[in-house]
Structure 1
Amino acid sequence: MLLWRLPLPGADRDGLSLVRRGDELIVTVAPFHRVLPLPSALRRCTVSGAGLRDGWLQVRFTPDPDLWPKRL
């Protein structure tokens, strides 16, 4: 499992939305949204969960074995 932590001070769960679209993560907090390009390692993973705690959004990713290089 890989974890990506994003600071979201003042955010609450009621107005929070998280969507993955291709190689991007779209984070919406109330009327505001940001489109974040995923780092290359996370592009080869699926989103397996997320949580908001103490002003931090923690997005969990699970590696997709079909997208990672095979060992030689």
Structure 2
Amino acid sequence: MSHPPLSHRPKNAREQLAFSLRRMRAERDWTQEDLSHVSGLDRSFIAHVERAARNISIDNIEKIANAFGVSIGDLF
């Protein structure tokens, strides 16, 4: 997995997760609603996570990783 240049990298884990979710959704041409459906999480929750506005549990990180078919580590 390639990473953005250091000057554009998110500052913390919450921002990194938000960046990864937006990127992975774009790569799959998924809407937030699509990710919501596949992960079993509410669309508004996905939106909050993508804005780095919510602290997310490891259980929900795992649901998102499973929805994308990646490991939890690939989200960071």
Same fold, TM-score > 0.5, yes or no: no
Normalization by structure 1: what TM-score? 0.24
Normalization by structure 2: what TM-score? 0.23
Which structure would you say has the larger Rg?
Answer: 1
Greater strand fraction, Structure 1 or Structure 2: 1
Greater helix fraction, Structure 1 or Structure 2: 2
